[in-house]
Amino acid sequence: MSCGISMVKYILFIFNLLCSICGILLIVFGALLFSNIHNVDDFTDALRTQQVPITMIVLGTVILLISWFGCCGAIRESYCMSMTYSILLFVLMIGQLALVVYMWLQKDKYLVIMGDVVEKAWERRTRRADYMDAIQISMECCGRSSYADYAFQGYFPPSCCKDTNNCRQETVYRRGCKQAFVEFWDRNSDIIKYTGLVIAAIEFVGFIFACCLANSIRNYRRRADY
């Protein structure tokens, strides 16, 4: 095998090894964020209220699968696996670009969806408060609209205060969770969009290398047949 093919092969292998690590990390962090599921009702609610960890798990799985094709194609010098990897990587890149464009053009609609996440968590707090507690702790907020939402019950949940052992009206978070959650995604939407573009550009470079490797393998085998 020529020196050029070997260099492309090793670059592609390292690239996919790093992608595999990123995919595994996404799956692990997504699984840690995902609440424990006890029955079908809990699973349905989790799908509705935990889009972020679910997206992380699905994306990590897809990246791991595609990276596996890339690593195997590079190690085995397989034209078929290299081309399969190229196609899958191209589809993933197009999907990410479509998501970035959606966030760019439909930002207001996206923020409404994020607000609905808090609404659903608030509605189901009487059965299980873990979703609402997680939002209140991470966003440092209290209640759906404000801490006054808990006035009817006469006390505040520990997740509404930094000092969970001394949660009272004087120490409770003042800001409502719906506002805090929407503002968080509003602030970070540009970071997400530009990060998506950078990742898509990296994937495009990987796509070019994979195509070059597949083409070099095919040409080498054709020459070897003569």
How many helices and strands in the chain, by DSSP H and E? 7, 0
Give me the pLDDT at residue 38, please: 42
Report d(CA 95, CA 216) in Å as an integer.
Answer: 28
Q: Look up residue 157 and give its amino acid.
A: P
For 125, phi then psi, to 5°, come to -65, -25
- Mean pLDDT of the 162-173 span: 84
Give me the pLDDT at residue 39, please: 41
CA–chain centroid gap for 26, Å, is 7
Joined tokens for residue 80:
């078929």
CB burial readout 76-91, b (16+ within 10 A) else e: ebbbebbbbbbebbbe
Across all residues in the chain, what is the average pLDDT? 78
Q: Is pTM beyond 0.85 here?
A: no
- Mean pLDDT of the 2-25 span: 74
